[in-house]
Amino acid sequence: MATILSFTSQSHPPKPLLNPYNPVANSLSEQSSTSRRAFISISSVSSLIAFVQPPNLVAQPSSSTSSKNTILSGITSTKSWFRYFGDGFAIRVPPDFEDIMEPEDYTAGLSLYGDKAKPRTFAARFATPDGSEVLSVVIRPSNQLKITFLEAKDVSDLGTLKEAKKIFVPGGTDLYSARAIKIKEDEGYRTYYFYEFGNDDQRAALVAAVNSGKTIIAGVSAPQSKWANDGVKLRSAAVSLTVL
């Protein structure tokens, strides 16, 4: 329901990463267009560099991944990056990324004279100048992702890391890493879920968290060929998501 990937404009576009259980993810994945401004992403991380580990971060690897591949092995410090503040979240933007939100993206969600508001696709969206690497944030009501009569207060309310995979990860893709990250806050711990996945052409990473019944998903995506050099930067951007 909230898996967002970016696809570059090519003469032979890559196969979209579709999730049969996730119509929201599919509708976003299928929005690949010939304009670089149409690139979509939802992202996250798989690891961090040990010397920048926050003292209040606890990583819980999934049972299917090696304990040696910790959440601290593949990101870098983002403190010098621009920090974007959105509706209930903040995220760090890599220096070479530019804002690619369209004017209608900012006005979406507003209603005039009682008209029904158009859902806002993105809460934030940034990309490299060539549009091949994308960072996006989307916000969705948690009850759209999992039917429940109770307001979700934490992403764990959507299920375990393994159970929530079908919400965030498209079917038919390879799952490279999955982690549950706990961040200490004033009133306890907040859980963030991280998934990194891809196919032969594209790779994406996303981080998801919940606050007051809303699921906030930050994701990055890029061609597989870009991840060898830029994977650390992309994961770092995704893992910088903070719920405010």
What's the average model confidence in pLDDT over 169-189? 93
193-217: pLDDT as tens digits:
999 999 999 999 999 999 999 999 9
Which SS3 state, helix, strand or coil, does residue 88 take? coil
Q: Which residue has the higher pLDDT, 116 or 67?
A: 116
The total of other beta-carbon atoms located within 10 Å of residue 231's CB is 21
113-131: pLDDT as tens digits:
555 556 678 999 999 999 9
Domain hosting residue 227, numbered range: 23-243
Q: Domain of 163: which CATH number?
A: 3.40.1000.10
Q: How many distinct structural domains can be found in the chain?
A: 1
CA–CA separation, 224 vs 176, rounded Å?
12
Q: Is the pLDDT of residue 109 over 80?
A: no
Q: Most confidently modeled of 38-42, 51-55, 209-213? A: 209-213
CA–CA separation, 161 vs 163, rounded Å?
6
Instruction: Give the tokens for residue 21.
Output: 């259980």
- Strand 134-141 relative to strand 174-185, pairing: unpaired
Is residue 8 in a domain?
Answer: no
Is residue 9 in a domain?
Answer: no
CA–CA separation, 173 vs 197, rounded Å?
6
What's the average model confidence in pLDDT over 228-236? 95
pLDDT confidence tier of residue 66, bands split at 50, 70 and 90: very low
154 burial level (CB within 10 Å; 0-12, 13-18, 19+): middle
146-168: pLDDT as tens digits:
887 678 999 999 999 999 999 99
Which pLDDT does position 160 carry in this prediction?
96
pTM (2 decimals)?
Answer: 0.71
CA–CA separation, 11 vs 218, rounded Å?
28
Q: Is the pLDDT of residue 22 over 70?
A: no
List Cβ neighbours of 59 (8 Å cut-off, separation of 6 or more). 70, 71, 72, 179, 180, 181
